Amino acid sequence: MQDTIQQLQQEIEAYDVTTAAGLDQFRIAYTGRKGRIADLFDQLKTVPAEDRRSVGQQLNALKQLAQDKFDQRRQQLEDEAAAQPADAGYDYTLPAVPGALGTRHPLSLTRDEIVRIFSRIGFNVAEGPEIEDDWHNFSALNFPENHPAREMQDTFFLPPAGGEEQNRLLRTHTSTVQVRLMQSQKPPIRSIMPGRVYRNEAISARAHMVFHQIEGLYIDENVSFADLKQTIYYFAQEFYGQDVKMRMRPSYFPFTEPSTEIDISCLICKGVGCNICKYTGWVEIMGAGMVDPNVLRACGIDPERYSGFAFGMGLERPTMLKYQIKDLRLFTQNDMRFLRQFEAIH
């Protein structure tokens, strides 16, 4: 045992460490938990009892020698690396590395495509603030005072600013832009309103507290429900394909009367049934209806002369259907493996 200790001591003293890789090899061979010194400590129990104390002292000294050399050489290598200029060893004669192309987010792709589709039939784009007040978000849209959407489980309310008495909130829909548009512009109005909205909901594969909507508004003389139906049918065929099936179901919204919810055949399961369509074969893509006269009147438009329709849809669901995405949470996780799938899409 003592001969082995002396041999290892000579090896450690003579070991030449000049690189980081060599230092790592030294650590593995001598100071590591499975190194040669650790093996000698395991063999200490085979040493006669009367010699065990002196041999143990020699092993401790050997271990300290190896550790001191490791620490010293590591510090020297770190100091040498810090003293080197940042571009040391760089060959400036090498050709430039071409820049990698970025990707466009699938939600941006969907929004831009929807804008192009509606722009072809005369709709322009309007935008508005994400922090709103109660009147623009609820009251002007014919929401009764006791409507559930006013309660905290749906809406993110903010504290009043600057002594204001009105409740401030994060808008729950982009219908607020419709209100501002009707207040500031005389008919005819034909606009779509893309934007981000917020609702206090649990995050899952089908829902999120932050999501995107795109709404549309058409106000003019003699606008009918038939105009609404043909507009949405045109959009569905342009966006989802000529073979898509569409159906309209009666519904209720405070700001439209009559109101409808619009479904298309599920593009993911082809009508067989999946978690996206809740195993029905149909997926709701939007709500729509004729603008309630109370909304027109609140915004300063004469409901006896003008009529119109409005529609609204989330951007996430059309994107999931178009690109066969099964989990809504992927849109906000910034996973590069997911985003790189859209490099070739313009």
CA–CA distance, 344 with 102 (Å, rounded to integer): 10
| Calpha distance 284→206 (Å, rounded) | 12
Nearest-CA neighbor of 217 among 251, 188, 247?
188
- 3-state DSSP: the chain helix, strand, coil percent, rounded to 5? 40, 20, 40
Q: Are 214 and 114 in contact (CB under 8 A)?
A: yes
Is 257 a known ligand-binding residue? yes
User: What pairing do the DSSP bridges indicate for beta strands 168-170 and 157-158?
Assistant: antiparallel
What is the number of residues in the chain? 346
Q: Judging by beta carbons within 10 Å of its beta carbon (0-12, 13-18, 19+), is residue 304 exposed, middle or buried?
A: exposed
The alpha carbon of residue 244 and the mean position of all alpha carbons in its chain are separated, in whole angstroms, by 28
Q: Give the type of residue at 170.
A: L
List the binding residues for Mg(2+).
Answer: 257
List the binding residues.
Answer: 257
